[in-house]
Amino acid sequence: MTNDVSPRVLNLAWLPGDGIGREVTEAALAAMRAVAEPAGVALAVAEYPIGGAAFDATGDPFPAVTRDGVLAADAVLLGAVGGPAWDTLPPERRPERGLLRLRAALGGFANLRPVAVPDALVERSPLRPEIVRGTDMLIVRELLGGVYFGEPSFVTGDAPEREGVSTMRYQEVEIRRVAEVAFQWAERRRGRVTSIDKANVLAVSRLWRDVVSEVQRTRYPHVDLEHRYVDSAAMDLVLRPTDFDVVLTGNLFGDILSDLAATLPGSLGVLPSASVGGGGPGLFEPIHGSAPSIAGKGIANPMGTILSGALLFDDVGLPELAAALRRGVGAALGQGIVPADLGGTATTDAVARAVIDHATA
């Protein structure tokens, strides 16, 4: 007998990392497998070390074995890195540096951080229901430039006269390529981009504003573009979140504003991310960190990682599997399966089981 539909194998590099990273990625992989297998998609998962765990094992937070493994994969699923045990290491050995090297190696310069408030969370949000209801924005954070990577970067001199320098730097090409991504998403969404900078003070932001305007004028005149200063935009993200569709911003502002936006659904634990645009495998990770104080307790919220799995499935052309995971998360919340960060009592495993039940129903 022949079978005309050959099963598809998806090669995933799995980087659990530190703290709650293993717990949340195990839950996400279970949910991903549960929706993939019935659809004839096999997940071939290879684990690689990253962050503090990689430093402990190899002396390097981003060892060559991990670099080779991720570059050969179809997609990369990451938990989180960092923790107090590694906070006093020299900068190049820190877990966070390993993460930045991973991102640079993969080349995904556009970090997509969707922020939505599902109906089931409207009443649980720390903000008033009428403010958060209907929130649906996409933060497009530039990920490989700005002050995270700008040179020079150093601390010099002797206490009490030391000096610290970091450099916020963008080249036109870096701004243009991430602006393109933001405008393309706006075309598929509600046709509006809010670009956030500090052009009233920073030279680098004046260039940012200029290049984003030029991209809009020359290539996306049908998309609305608004420029905002980061301070007042931060206030409006919380006061008027439904005004935002696509939010385009640089590396540092995007890091800060996306954690701020987590107040809308009520926790960092529910927000996913995808880092794309590098031409190779994408990187999928929740926006939260390693949450050291709850690591190992089995209570971390895996929803942000499961929804990162949905972004992964979208990226590799399996949108039905992505939709199943999103349906599973929405239904689990709707049924009151709520973990501690959102004010409930559901464990990581209980959340994963509920998501799987609903996603495969």
**Which one from 119, 210, 231, 236 is the annotated catalytic residue?**
231
Least Cα distance to 103 among 331, 302, 281, 238 occurs for 281
Total of residues contacting ligand IPM (CB under 6 A): 7
Q: For the window 68-107, what string marks contact with ligand NAD as x by the rule CB under 6 A? A: ------------xxxx------------x--x--------
Considering the rule CB under 6 A, would residue 337 count as an interface residue with ligand IPM?
A: no
Torsion over CA: 187, 190, 192, 196 (sign): negative
**Residues 18, 60, 142, 255: which binds Mn ion (CB under 5 A)?**
255
Close Cβ partners of 107 (under 8 Å, ≥ 6 residues apart):
144, 277, 278, 279, 280
Nearer to ligand IPM, 304 or 330 (CB): 304
Closest of 170, 52, 185 to residue 112, by C-alpha: 185
Q: Is 24 a binder of ligand NAD (CB under 6 A)?
A: yes
Which residue's CB is nearer to Mn ion, number 74 or number 285?
285
- 314 has catalytic annotation: no
Whether residue 255 lies in the annotated active site: yes
Catalytic residue among 18, 48, 60, 148: 148
Among 10, 27, 73, 287, binds ligand IPM (CB under 6 A): 287
236 as an active site residue: the answer is: no
Least Å from the CB of residue 318 to Mn ion: 27
Q: Pick the catalytic residue from 56, 136, 224, 259.
A: 259
CB atoms within 10 A of CB 229: 14
Q: Candidates 6, 88, 218, 293: give the one binding ligand NAD (CB under 6 A).
A: 293
By a kind-dependent CB cut-off of 5 to 8 A, residue 116 interacts, out of ligand NAD, Mn ion, ligand IPM, none, with: none
Which one from 18, 60, 74, 255 is the annotated catalytic residue? 255
Q: Is 248 in the site for ligand IPM (CB under 6 A)?
A: no
**Site for ligand IPM, rule CB under 6 A:** 82, 96, 99-100, 255, 287, 289
Query: Residues with catalytic annotation?
Result: 148, 198, 231, 255, 259
**Site for ligand NAD, rule CB under 6 A:** 20, 24, 80-83, 96, 99, 268-269, 285, 288-294, 300-301, 304, 341
